[in-house]
Amino acid sequence: MNLHNVEQARFNMIEQQIRPWNVADSAVLQLLSTVKREDFVPLVHKSLAFVDMAIPLPGEQLMLTPRIQARLVQDAAVNPTDKVLEIGTGTGFTTALLAHQAQRVISLEINPELADMARTNLQQANIHNVEVRQADGVNGAAADAPFDVIVLGGSVAEVPPNLLNQLKVGGRLVAIVGDEPIMHAVTITRTSETYFKTDEKWDDNAPRLLNFPTSPAFRF
């Protein structure tokens, strides 16, 4: 793919997949045109970098579709002074988008091969305010809490309370919650020490984060 074709494909991705999907935040759209998604896609799947599909990753993981990544970043509404916790680094693309907006990002990736890949990708993209840790994200990063923003880079049956407790008052957690066929993207805001407000934003399915509790099949 020559450079012109790459830029055309990136433009089409933004205009045909992302913008129609209610991503209107100009800062997010600008990042999507400057942070090179193709550099975060494993070499064997480089040709799929701008396609509306989840891309296979090592360890049977998947890279989220561009529109879901964009929408999560828009929902996170990160400010320049924010400290962000991301769970599920993958190849580091969403991490890169968050890093451009935040003061600091700590990103947890359970798969060692992906953690290494993400570190390399972020370094090559000249992003230096991220720390990628190979760790199970289900416990968050309590020693570094509280966070302004927590982003889950995959779906969960429900958000564990211990993660919500790592938010600052006024902080928010963005996640895709529920079970197939329909999951809901939610933004949970910590409005006080004891109270959390949940807003359902949109519906879509996303691959599961590993090791998070699964919800019981029946509730009576």
Give residue limits of the domains in the chain: 3-203
**Mean pLDDT in the chain?**
94
User: Among residues of the chain, what percentage have pLDDT more than 90?
Assistant: 89
CATH superfamily of 3-203: Vaccinia Virus protein VP39 (3.40.50.150)
The pLDDT-based confidence of 166 (bands split at 50, 70, 90) is very high
Could you tell me where the beta strands, DSSP code E, fall in 53-166?
A: 55-57, 61-63, 83-87, 104-109, 130-134, 147-156
pLDDT of residue 216: 59
Which residue pairs, CB below 8 angstroms and at least 24 apart, start in 190-195? 190/164, 193/169
**What's the confidence (pLDDT) of residue 70?**
97
With a CB cutoff of 8 Å and minimum separation 6, the contacts of 16 are: none
Confidence band (pLDDT; 50, 70, 90) for 182? confident
Burial category of 6 from C-beta neighbours within 10 Å (exposed 0-12, middle 13-18, buried 19 and up): middle
